[in-house]
Structure 1
Amino acid sequence: MSQTELNDKNIKPNDDLIFSIIGDKQLLWEQVMTYLYNNNKNVSEEWKYYNDGKIWLFRALKKKNTLFWIRIIEDTFRIAFWFAGRLEPEIMQSNLPDNLKSQYKNAKPFNKSRSIYIDMQDSVDFENVKKLIDLKIKN
């Protein structure tokens, strides 16, 4: 796995810092944010430093509900979605690729939820993130 970035509590992330770490994945970042804001109302975002992991994480919210988390890692970023166990049938019947369905099915539960995460590499990942955002908004 790539080196985790943004671990200095005193340096709050901004676009320049993020883009200097994720490099050519900047376009994917911009596509995700554009899709999020263009297709949803009442969306907000926050950066927060978490002492337990010693890292800054980005959180996208709709009203007070978390849509997804982003962790910046060298040369890319990881988007993580958490879905309640009750949504398993919907996730399994969705048009998500089998590897993401398996990831959800095999994820260790936390507070009756399980995660799906994607390390952003290309347009296929972006298409899957759009599906996950839509699924999260719907539920």
Structure 2
Amino acid sequence: MERPLLNDGNQYPTDIILASVLGNSMEVYQAFVSNLSKYQIDLEWHYYNDSKSWLGKAVSKKRTVFWLSIWQGFFKVSFHFAGKTHLDIMNLPIAVDIKREIENAPIKGKLVSVAIKVSDKAHLDDIYTLMSYRQSCK
């Protein structure tokens, strides 16, 4: 099973380290992270022993909005929604391929998860839409 990069718990993910892994996607990452303040979201980096990697936890008013992981040449933004929100998500103005992924995602417990690979700006608007929706969920 593949796992995200940034596996050294002693090496905090600085911009230099992120740029070395993300490559051309670093500009997209920086644009994405700089827009988080517009949504009142803070990105907190933590090393997690269960995944043996650094993950970004995006928090708004003490609520986790999404998780961010770093991969070679791209980053993933992962959302976890309550299963009962499935129909609401399908009505959001997001790309059909993301809707298809959500529709086909297995429900684990009571959660539906979707991870969006980001290497260019094409899906950023969809991610912002999902972020806003996630923030509105109770």
Q: Check whether TM > 0.5.
A: yes
**Aligned-residue offset at 1:48:** 1.4
Task: Report the Cα distance in structure 2 between the residues aligned to 1:58 and 1:40, rounded to whole angstroms.
Answer: 16
1:40 aligns with 2:39: yes
Task: Report the Cα distance in structure 2 between the residues aligned to 1:27 and 1:18, rounded to whole angstroms.
Answer: 11
Residues 46, 54 of structure 2: 8 Å contact kept: yes
1:112 aligns with 110
Task: Report the Cα distance in structure 1 between the residues aligned to 2:42 and 2:92, rounded to whole angstroms.
Answer: 26
Closer/same/farther in 2, CA of residues 119 and 50 from structure 1, 3 Å limit: same
Q: Give TM-score, length-normalised by structure 1.
A: 0.88
2:125 aligns with 127
Task: Report the Cα distance in structure 1 between the residues aligned to 2:106 and 2:100, rounded to whole angstroms.
Answer: 12
Task: Report the Cα distance in structure 2 between the residues aligned to 1:2 and 1:26, rounded to whole angstroms.
Answer: 21
List, as ranges, runs of 4+ consecutive aligned residues in structure 1 with deviation greater than 6 Å. Answer: none
Task: Report the Cα distance in structure 2 between the residues aligned to 1:137 and 1:4, rounded to whole angstroms.
Answer: 25
Instruction: Give the aligned length.
Output: 137
Q: Give TM-score, length-normalised by structure 2.
A: 0.89
- Secondary structure of 1:101's counterpart equals helix
Runs (5+) with no aligned partner, structure 2: none
Deviations 1:65-114 (A, max 9, x none): 11111110011111111111121111111111222112112222234111
2:13 aligns with 13
Runs (5+) with no aligned partner, structure 1: none
1:98 aligns with 96
- Secondary structure of 1:31's counterpart equals helix
Identical-residue share of aligned pairs (%) = 30
- Please provide the CA RMSD for this pair: 1.9
